[in-house]
Structure 1
Amino acid sequence: MTRKSPRPGSTPLPAGLAAPARKSLAHAGLETLEHLAAVGRRRLAGMPGICPRTLAQLQDAMDEHGLELPAG
């Protein structure tokens, strides 16, 4: 069973992200999992501070909340 955010559109990023990844996402204005779904995996992978481990953490969080991280 997946957990849904109590307020759709405002699911926070996972707490365990490394500081460089969190700063890079914040600098790009990506503050929720829904923002990430609009951007896509390819763009995220090209951002500074975003490594394969971070992408896996983000994907796991999105799966947990019933969201999809598109390839684009």
Structure 2
Amino acid sequence: MMQKTREPGRTPLPRGIAAPARKSLAHAGVETLEQLVQLGEHRLAGMAGVCPRTMAQLQDALDDHGLTLRTG
């Protein structure tokens, strides 16, 4: 389980995300889980390099920190 950040709004993305997905997220300006939440599930799923494994990794990290992706 990941340790919760001490700085709200600055929870880094989990390690182990595939490079293509990490590059797509960086290109979209997403560096934290909080920014990922704002991106939304639909847009995230449509990004290059974001496969089911990456979605599962990100969902696990969000769950660990009590965050939920926006739907739509």
Please report the TM-score for the alignment, with normalisation by the length of structure 2: 0.91
Residue-pair matches, total: 71
Query: Once the 2 structures are TM-superposed, how far is the Cα of residue 4 of structure 1 from its aligned partner?
Result: 3.2
Which residue of 2 is the match for residue 5 of structure 1?
Answer: 5
Which runs of 4 or more aligned residues in structure 1 lie more than 3 Å from their structure 2 counterparts after TM superposition? none
- How far, CA to CA, are the matches of 1:3 and 1:57 in structure 2? 15
Which residue of 2 is the match for residue 49 of structure 1?
Answer: 49
Checking the alignment, whether the CA contact within 8 Å between 1:62 and 1:68 is kept in structure 2 is yes
Structure 1: runs of 5 or more not aligned: none
Q: Percent identity at matched positions?
A: 68
- How far, CA to CA, are the matches of 1:3 and 1:42 in structure 2? 27
Which residue of 2 is the match for residue 68 of structure 1?
Answer: 68
The residue type paired with residue 34 of structure 1 is: E
Structure 2 residue matching 1:29: 3-state secondary structure: coil
Checking the alignment, whether the CA contact within 8 Å between 1:4 and 1:66 is kept in structure 2 is no
Which residue of 2 is the match for residue 31 of structure 1?
Answer: 31
- How far, CA to CA, are the matches of 2:40 and 2:52 in structure 1? 14
The residue type paired with residue 27 of structure 2 is: H
